[in-house]
Structure 1
Amino acid sequence: MQFPESWLRQYCNPNLTTQQLADTLTMAGLEVEELEPVAPAFSGIVVGEIKEAVQHPDADRLRVCQVDVGGPELLNIVCGAPNARVGIRIPCAMVGAELPPGADGKPFKIKIGKLRGVPSYGMLCSAKELGIDDDASGLLELPVDAPLGQNIREYLNLDDTLFTLKLTPNLAHCLSVYGIARELSALTGAPLKAIDYPQAVVASQDKLSVKIEAADLCGRFSGRIVRNVNTQVQTPKWMVDRLARCGQRSVSPLVDISNYVMFELGRPSHIFDLDKINGGLTVRWGKEGETLKLLNGNTVKLDGSNKVGVIADDSAVESLAGIMGGDHTAVSHETQNIYIEAAFWFPKAVAGRSRHFNFSTDAGHRFERGVDPEFTVEHIERITQLVLEICGTPATQVCAIDDHQPNMPHPKPVQLRVARAAKVIGMPVTQQQCLDALNGLGLPATVASEGVISVTAPTFRFDINLEEDLIEEVARMIGYDNLPTTKPLAPISPKLRAENKRSPYAVRHALAALGYQETINFSFVEEKWEAELAGNTNPIKLLNPIASQLSVMRSSLIGSLMQVLKFNVDRKAPRVRVFELGRVFLRDDSVVESDTTVKGFEQPMRVAGLAYGAAAQQQWGQADAKVDFYDVKGDVEALLAPLKPVFEAAEHPAMHPGRCARVVLNGKAIGVVGELHPQWRQEWDLAQAPVLFELELDAVLAREVPKFQAVAKHQAVERDIAVVVKETVTHAQVMAAVAAGVQGGILRNAVLFDVFRPKKLKAGEEAAPGSLAQDEKSLAVRLTLGRDDAALTDVEIDAAMQGAIAALQSQVAARLRG
């Protein structure tokens, strides 16, 4: 919310400096984000009038002007502005004047000079040279009644300050200059100027037919017809200046009046061209397929995904309720008859609709936070007053106001316990202090019982619903800077993590130690990613996405990491290793509602990583090699250590069907690791396939509690077994068979240390007798055997070896290699 200080002081003018006023508002919760002067520092510039302008004898683009600044003599000034002509009044910098600082930061001082041999006793100024606008196309033309010789700062009210407030959503009643003045009056005790709403003389009882079909959309709708207005006039300069200082450019007289009242009173309104309305108006919810060309030039199409309120005539939709009017009924320079509308739209019926169409408006910003439904008629009278002052003619005819109230909100009383207020605020407060603070804010407070105050909030305070809301108002009136600094008093009990769990920070540090960098991404992603990379055809959709493409909640972290990879690869990053630890969102009807859960949705934490490019940083002592499945598999094993996961062949929508594995820990699948599918590699335009993993965080956090074990006193025994198995037999199957075959708990370790495959035969070539078949391989396994209490005997060792061989034969159809 931006506004000039002078406008605020018109309604409430406490004896405070500009900085004190800003501090007072900030300490009451209305944070003043910025203070900026309307114009930079300059002096010696007055109102002047060009009495004569003749061509310079030696320059085509210069004119020699005689300028009257209210003194005894005219000033001879050479000027090159294209609009320098006789009769206009302009800012004139006298000799000795100082203009705003230039690019070098130093003020520019006006001296007597000569331009092409003609002396010049001053300078005629543009708006840009004064630092009040970017327009440098010509001299700043002032109204013809501007008093000659008056200081330009005084005439244009340039000794003013722009306040920019950063308001929280519960302070909708401060989205107007008068609303802020009301707060300032309560804070300082300075009187608040009452606004007069003079009733226009009604010349006709004509009314436009209005039908309200959606009472849950519109609680009140007021309107008035005004005929024979003059829209060819210029908006008064005082109004243009005030709008500009609120950050709003001037458009046309009627639009400017509507915007002015919005900034003044917080009431968005709309003025229709009456002659362009076909029949009457209907207030209803939009229908599927309806379209509307808006004032901003965009054409929107209504659909069933977002319920939007509209104002329609008998033939088409003419306005988005509470957001923006339509182009068809917009006022123009040809408009003669108008219809002024001021309505109350329920905040829930407006909230989020602007973002659905990818734009926002000042009207929507106010209505979705709450606008007072009580004064629609009075505000129409205020608009009518300005219309008559600016656009009125002798033939202007004002008609009666038509006021519909199908569903006015009824505030409920809220009670405040004084003892509770003192506890929350953290300092003693009396019942009288609370009464004074609330009544000063315009919140009618009465004593319900001893120590209990009852408040029925006025219609302009939509945010007063709970006892805490009233406590906040009391704290604001006391002033946050007056609250004592007290240390919190609460019982403190340490929350110790179980020994078999590690913290998420430990997981982050472990991945960082493996060379990965952490990324943090949005939980909402593109719907395409969910379908392609997660195989999720029914994602959780957002009702109000912050961007049109980020429309669903993610069920996998892979899409987010792929986006990070693409961003870096597009910027020539040769090697990318990133990870994310975050939440995913899954549909699950078994989840019930609680303080930490949402019914029907599971929100588990996961950890995912991605490796792309070289396996290691470039160095002289190691050959370059691209990262592959086994590199990332090793990282997963290191992350889960000392637990030993099992990797089983699997399929995943995002991964290569032959280079993907399921990660199994203690018999439970906890995630997946694999290379990106060639189809997605091509679609994402990647030079090589990245390798990814995604694991359940709870499984990664689990760890074994270290147990004491004495160092073995007896030497271990090593024995080797060489067996022939089918090519399809996996390493895990062989290790499981060995472990099952050795009884008595004497197997300390088993390691596969050699793999031999036969040479492929050429066409017509036969294998040598006794050699391996083409579909076989030879595996050599070293067994380490030992016992803590005694040395192993030959009988025990032989029994262990025979048991291992028997298990290999029975479980994987192995045979000893001859």
Structure 2
Amino acid sequence: MQFPESWLREFCNPPLTTAELAETLTMAGLEVEELRPVAPPFTKIVVGEIKEAVQHPDADRLRVCQVDVGQGALLNIVCGAPNARVGIKVPCALVGAELPPGDDGKPFLIKVGKLRGVESQGMLCSARELKLSEDHGGLLELDVSAPVGQDIRVHLNLDDTLFTLKLTPNLAHCLSVYGIAREVSALTGAPLQQPSFPPVQAKLEDKLPVTVSAPDLCGRFSGRIVRNVNTRAATPQWMLDRLARCGQRGVSPLVDISNYVMFELGRPSHIFDLDKIHGGLDVRWGKAGEQLKLLNGNTITVDDKVGVIADGQQVESLAGIMGGDATAVSDDTKNVYIEAAFWWPKAVAGRSRRFNFSTDAGHRFERGVDPSLTVEHIERITQLVIDICGTPETACGPMDDQQVNMPQPQPVTLRVARAAKVVGMPLTQAQCADALRGLGLPVVEGEGTLTVAPPSYRFDITIEEDLIEEVARMVGYNNLPTTPPLAPITPKLAAEATRSPFAVRRALAGLGYQETINFSFVEERWEHELAANAQPIKLLNPIASQMSVMRSTLLGSLLQVLKFNLDRKAERVRVFELGRVFLRDAGVRNTDTTVEGFHQPMRVSGLAYGPNDVLQWGRKEQAIDFFDVKGDVQALLAPLRATFEPGTHPAMHPGRCARVLLDGRAIGFVGELHPQWRQSWDLPQAPVMFELELDAVQQRAVPQFKPVAKHQAVERDVAVVVAERVTHTEVMDAIAAAVPGTMLRSAVLFDVYRPKPLRAGEVAPAGGLAAGEKSLAVRLTLGRDEATLTEAEIEAAMQAVVAQLVARTGGRLRV
């Protein structure tokens, strides 16, 4: 909301400087975002009248003007403006005047000079040269009544300040100069100049038939006919100046009048060309397929969720938002219909965004506009139309006011003790009552309570907290005491057997991964393909069409990051994300941290692509594989030891995917991207990914210290031939079951051997490996804390290991 300070002070003029006024508004919740002078500083520029303008003898585009600036003698000024002519009044910079700085930042000083041999004793100015606007088409023409010689700053009221307010949605009653003045009066005690709306005498009996078919759209519809207006009249300069200082350019007198009253009183209205209306008007909800060409030139298609004003043939206006082109006023308009209505905020809210534009009217109506003053505001508009566009034949008809569904504000009660507790300072009932009455709110006092019947312009007052906020604003936020918290503060310490999410991030960063942060809403296709989620959680109002559902896996977000980097020639990518996923779960109930029907766990996911190491001389380049990322997962979970078993995941390769288990509990998956999705994402090679439950990754065993072993351990190697289907986990489980107690300190697989395929006619060597077999070599480290192992104990342990391997895996000792 932008407005000039001078207009505000016409309604309420407190004894405050501009800075003090801005501070008062800000501390009352009406944040002053910017203070800006109307015009930059300049001096010795006055109103001048051109008395004579003749062609320059040596220049086709220059004129020699004789200018009266109220000094008796005329000034000889050379001017190149195309509109320099006899009789107009323009700003004239006298010798010694200092104009606003130009593009180089330096001020421009006016001196006596010669242009093509003719002396020039000043300069005639355009609006752009005075930094009043960007218009540089010619001299700034002033009103014919401007006093010659008057300082231009005084004549144009340039010693003014533009206020720009950043208002919250509940302050709809401040979306006008009068509304802000009402607040200033309450804050400072300065008197408020109440506007008057004398009725305009109706000289006609004409009424336009209007039907309000949708009371849930329009609660009140007022209007009147005005005939024989002159739409070619010029909008007064004072009105254009005020509109410009509110950020609104002049259009035509009727449109300017409607905009002026909107900024003055907060009342959006619309003026129809009466002769373009077919029959009467019908205020209703739209019908599917109906089209409307708006004043901005766009043609839209409406439906039954959008309110419209229609005549007997077509839709003429978008209710509460913008008028239609078909009934727009023009220079040929003679008869008009002035309309002011109350549109229910919920019937207007969000409609502009459906058509990708916004208007000042829609901005106000969706927040709430006073329904009680439609008639009075039409009287104000009518009088302005007659004053500006009136002719001897101009006459208006009677007011047509239909009140079909007016809002009924409910009384709201404020408990003084509750207000004191919420505000955090002692408050008396008298203080609260004075604050509310100062805002113009009717107050009925009870024992420790104040009951307010909200006026029609205060849509935001519906609950007790709304009144408490008003009291706090009037008392002054800067007057609230700084009170330390009184509640006991108990630190919430994490269990010793857990680590923080930050520690998880740091561990992954230490493994060479970089963190990414992605949206929780993703493409629906990702959910179908990567999570096999046939019914993803859909958003009611997505920020973009490709972000329409909530994710149930983090893998799609990481693949998108990978694709983004590959498209920019990245060769090696390591990324991870800690984020929330969203799953349907009927067992979840509403609590402070949960939403009924939805489970929202945290997960950690990573992706590796490209070489398994950065470019170096010490080792050959090798592409990342499943076992590299499996090792990263093991390092992330260490010192806890995870086990891995073959698994299936919709996003991963059927034969290169493992389920991750921790103490027998499945906590996630690790695997290579499925070939089908690799092809659809157009990836040169398959990335390897993992996704784990964050709460499981955060678990940590409390460290338990043990003395260093005093006796030397022994190492033995065992090689066993097993079928290809036998897994590493099965072999390790058999070894662990064979060695008693704590004798087995470690078992490490250090070699895997598979025979080469036989050529045609070749015979496998005796004692060798058959097709479908592999040899696994494991190094065992054996020891005991009490004493050194004997050869008998070592041999017994090795025999037990071989026996368990044969029994559990069906293998045989390799010789």
Pairwise TM-score range, normalised by the shorter structure: over 0.9
What CA deviation, in whole Å up to 9, does each residue of 1:216-238 have, x standing for no partner?
Answer: 33322223333333322332222
Moved more, 10-19 or 371-380: 371-380
Moved more, 228-237 or 241-250: 228-237
Distance in 2 (CA, whole Å) between partners of 1:478 and 1:788 is 77
Counterpart of 1:758? 755
Distance in 2 (CA, whole Å) between partners of 1:82 and 1:357 is 42
State the Cα distance separating 1:9 from its structure 2 match.
0.6
Distance in 2 (CA, whole Å) between partners of 1:741 and 1:288 is 78
Unaligned runs of 5+ residues in structure 2 are none
Counterpart of 2:378? 380
The equivalences for 1:536-547 within 5 A come to: 536-547=533-544
Counterpart of 2:502? 505
Counterpart of 1:261? 261
What CA deviation, in whole Å up to 9, does each residue of 1:483-532 have, x standing for no partner?
Answer: 22222211111212112222222222222333333333333344444445
Counterpart of 1:110? 110
Letter in 1 for 2:153: R
Counterpart of 1:519? 516
State the Cα distance separating 1:800 from its structure 2 match.
3.8
Letter in 2 for 1:556: T
State the Cα distance separating 1:656 from its structure 2 match.
4.9
Distance in 2 (CA, whole Å) between partners of 1:783 and 1:797 is 11
CA distance change for structure 1 residues 144 and 659 in 2, over 3 Å: closer, same or farther?
Answer: farther
Counterpart of 2:353? 355
Q: What SS does the corresponding residue of 2:398 show, helix, strand or coil?
A: strand
- Choose which of 338, 341, 344 in structure 1 pairs with 2:342: 344
Moved more, 45-54 or 751-760: 45-54
Distance in 2 (CA, whole Å) between partners of 1:657 and 1:252 is 71
Moved more, 260-269 or 624-633: 624-633
Counterpart of 1:433? 431
Distance in 2 (CA, whole Å) between partners of 1:552 and 1:138 is 57
Distance in 2 (CA, whole Å) between partners of 1:272 and 1:649 is 74
Q: What SS does the corresponding residue of 1:636 show, helix, strand or coil?
A: helix
Counterpart of 1:248? 248
What CA deviation, in whole Å up to 9, does each residue of 1:235-278 have, x standing for no partner?
Answer: 22222221221112222222222222221112222233333334
The answer (yes or no) to whether the contact 1:352–1:544 under 8 Å persists in 2 is: no
Moved more, 702-711 or 130-139: 702-711
Distance in 1 (CA, whole Å) between partners of 2:209 and 2:802 is 97
What TM-score results when the alignment is normalised by the length of structure 2? 0.93
State the Cα distance separating 1:659 from its structure 2 match.
4.6
Counterpart of 1:402? 400
Identity in percent: 74
State the Cα distance separating 1:392 from its structure 2 match.
2.5
The reply to whether residue 467 of structure 1 matches residue 464 of structure 2 is yes
What CA deviation, in whole Å up to 9, does each residue of 1:266-322 have, x standing for no partner?
Answer: 222223333333443333333444433333333333468xx3333333444333332
Counterpart of 1:317? 315
Distance in 2 (CA, whole Å) between partners of 1:227 and 1:43 is 47
How many residues are treated as equivalent by the alignment? 815
The reply to whether residue 414 of structure 1 matches residue 400 of structure 2 is no
- Choose which of 540, 549, 552 in structure 2 pairs with 1:552: 549
Q: What SS does the corresponding residue of 1:114 show, helix, strand or coil?
A: strand
Counterpart of 1:161? 161
State the Cα distance separating 1:616 from its structure 2 match.
4.2
What CA deviation, in whole Å up to 9, does each residue of 1:683-731 have, x standing for no partner?
Answer: 6666655444332222222222223334334433332221222334332
Distance in 2 (CA, whole Å) between partners of 1:659 and 1:329 is 69
Moved more, 190-199 or 567-576: 567-576
State the Cα distance separating 1:637 from its structure 2 match.
2.4
Distance in 2 (CA, whole Å) between partners of 1:290 and 1:557 is 43
The answer (yes or no) to whether the contact 1:612–1:627 under 8 Å persists in 2 is: yes
CA distance change for structure 1 residues 586 and 318 in 2, over 3 Å: closer, same or farther?
Answer: farther
Distance in 1 (CA, whole Å) between partners of 2:625 and 2:652 is 13
Distance in 1 (CA, whole Å) between partners of 2:405 and 2:486 is 47
Q: What SS does the corresponding residue of 1:670 show, helix, strand or coil?
A: strand
The equivalences for 1:192-211 within 5 A come to: 192-211=192-211
Counterpart of 2:445? 447
The reply to whether residue 699 of structure 1 matches residue 696 of structure 2 is yes
Distance in 2 (CA, whole Å) between partners of 1:630 and 1:596 is 38
Counterpart of 1:777? 774
Counterpart of 1:739? 736
What CA deviation, in whole Å up to 9, does each residue of 1:577-615 have, x standing for no partner?
Answer: 443322222232222222222222222222233444554
The reply to whether residue 492 of structure 1 matches residue 484 of structure 2 is no
Distance in 2 (CA, whole Å) between partners of 1:671 and 1:115 is 85
Letter in 2 for 1:506: A
CA distance change for structure 1 residues 289 and 101 in 2, over 3 Å: closer, same or farther?
Answer: same
Distance in 1 (CA, whole Å) between partners of 2:686 and 2:530 is 14
CA distance change for structure 1 residues 700 and 255 in 2, over 3 Å: closer, same or farther?
Answer: farther
Letter in 2 for 1:125: C
Distance in 2 (CA, whole Å) between partners of 1:790 and 1:458 is 93
Counterpart of 2:10? 10
Distance in 2 (CA, whole Å) between partners of 1:146 and 1:124 is 16
What CA deviation, in whole Å up to 9, does each residue of 1:626-677 have, x standing for no partner?
Answer: 5554443333322222223334444545455555444333333333344455
Q: What SS does the corresponding residue of 1:477 show, helix, strand or coil?
A: helix
The answer (yes or no) to whether the contact 1:675–1:692 under 8 Å persists in 2 is: yes
- Choose which of 605, 628, 632 in structure 1 pairs with 2:629: 632
The equivalences for 1:795-806 within 5 A come to: 796-806=793-803
What CA deviation, in whole Å up to 9, does each residue of 1:139-195 have, x standing for no partner?
Answer: 222233322222111111111101011112221111111111000000111110101
State the Cα distance separating 1:44 from its structure 2 match.
1.0
- Choose which of 365, 368, 388 in structure 2 pairs with 1:367: 365
State the Cα distance separating 1:785 from its structure 2 match.
3.0
The answer (yes or no) to whether the contact 1:747–1:783 under 8 Å persists in 2 is: yes
State the Cα distance separating 1:112 from its structure 2 match.
0.5
Distance in 2 (CA, whole Å) between partners of 1:688 and 1:273 is 67
Distance in 2 (CA, whole Å) between partners of 1:570 and 1:135 is 47
Distance in 2 (CA, whole Å) between partners of 1:799 and 1:215 is 94
Distance in 2 (CA, whole Å) between partners of 1:4 and 1:561 is 52
CA distance change for structure 1 residues 261 and 770 in 2, over 3 Å: closer, same or farther?
Answer: same
State the Cα distance separating 1:20 from its structure 2 match.
0.7
What TM-score results when the alignment is normalised by the length of structure 1? 0.93
Unaligned runs of 5+ residues in structure 1 are none
Q: What SS does the corresponding residue of 1:170 show, helix, strand or coil?
A: coil
CA distance change for structure 1 residues 624 and 798 in 2, over 3 Å: closer, same or farther?
Answer: closer
Moved more, 803-812 or 189-198: 803-812
Letter in 1 for 2:406: M
Q: What SS does the corresponding residue of 2:226 show, helix, strand or coil?
A: strand
Counterpart of 1:604? 601
What CA deviation, in whole Å up to 9, does each residue of 1:303-359 have, x standing for no partner?
Answer: 68xx33333334443333323333333333333333322222222333333233332
CA distance change for structure 1 residues 716 and 403 in 2, over 3 Å: closer, same or farther?
Answer: farther
CA distance change for structure 1 residues 194 and 555 in 2, over 3 Å: closer, same or farther?
Answer: same
Distance in 2 (CA, whole Å) between partners of 1:752 and 1:303 is 70
Moved more, 489-498 or 264-273: 264-273
Distance in 2 (CA, whole Å) between partners of 1:786 and 1:348 is 78
Distance in 1 (CA, whole Å) between partners of 2:783 and 2:31 is 75
Distance in 2 (CA, whole Å) between partners of 1:733 and 1:701 is 27
Counterpart of 1:456? 453
Moved more, 275-284 or 135-144: 275-284
CA distance change for structure 1 residues 69 and 509 in 2, over 3 Å: closer, same or farther?
Answer: same
Distance in 2 (CA, whole Å) between partners of 1:317 and 1:534 is 47
